[in-house]
A and B are shown apart, each in its own frame.
Chain A
């Protein structure tokens, strides 16, 4: 079965420290991978995607993600966290070319403390 796992319900980090939000996937074939962020009372906002090419993908608001095919992971990272980064983060995979429905993980709440 095709699935996405976000093993941490919550990640806590101090402002200015690097952050990592973990994501692993299980799909057949080459995956298309995405990260979205959800702020309270707002819709999901696209952060970044991996389709092909360089394993390190840069996205919005200083976030980046590293695709690791051997570990089937797509972890979200940021070198220096901001309090305003506190939100709910979702990893998603689109398993089939030209279908592009998204399969989401259960989300990880990021809390950045001042």
Chain B
């Protein structure tokens, strides 16, 4: 399968613990995005990378959240000191952008986080 993959698919953690999610984009895609989706809502943008550079962060991304894409390939999203309000589906997407092109984003299956 050459689509976007995310690991783990499900994570249950206790409040106050740290969690880390991984996203592997489609191999030739240079942009990688993180979104968060809660029940009954559409996905909300968190942050995105072009290659290894993090170019934009949403105000939704508090200081407890950090994302990296160290070699411009896979990315990790870490949440420190989790809170019950962090419970959501975390979606990763990737796209290939070059020059004046504007390309659609391809989404992974998501990581569902439950904070108890």
Question: Which residues of A are interface residues toward B (Cβ below 8 A)?
Answer: 4, 32, 34, 36, 41-46, 49, 51, 90, 92, 94, 97-107
The 3 lowest CB-CB distance pairs between A and B, nearest first, are A104-B42, A44-B107, A43-B107
Question: Which residues of B are interface residues toward A (Cβ below 8 A)?
Answer: 4, 31, 33, 35, 40-45, 48, 56, 91, 93, 95, 97, 102-110
- A94: which B residues are within 8 A, CB to CB? 102
- How far is it, in angstroms, between the C-alpha of A102 and the C-alpha of B44 when the chains are bound? 8
- B33: which A residues are within 8 A, CB to CB? 101-102
Q: Is the CB of A43 within 8 A of B42?
A: no
Closest B residue, CB atoms, query A103: B45
Q: Is the CB of B91 within 8 A of A44?
A: yes
- How far is it, in angstroms, between the C-alpha of A46 and the C-alpha of B97 when the chains are bound? 16
Q: Is the CB of A107 within 8 A of B102?
A: no
Q: Is the CB of B42 within 8 A of A92?
A: yes
Q: Is the CB of A105 within 8 A of B102?
A: no
Q: Is the CB of B43 within 8 A of A100?
A: no
- How far is it, in angstroms, between the C-alpha of A45 and the C-alpha of B108 when the chains are bound? 9
Q: Is the CB of B95 within 8 A of A45?
A: no
Q: Is the CB of A106 within 8 A of B95?
A: no
- B109: which A residues are within 8 A, CB to CB? 41-43
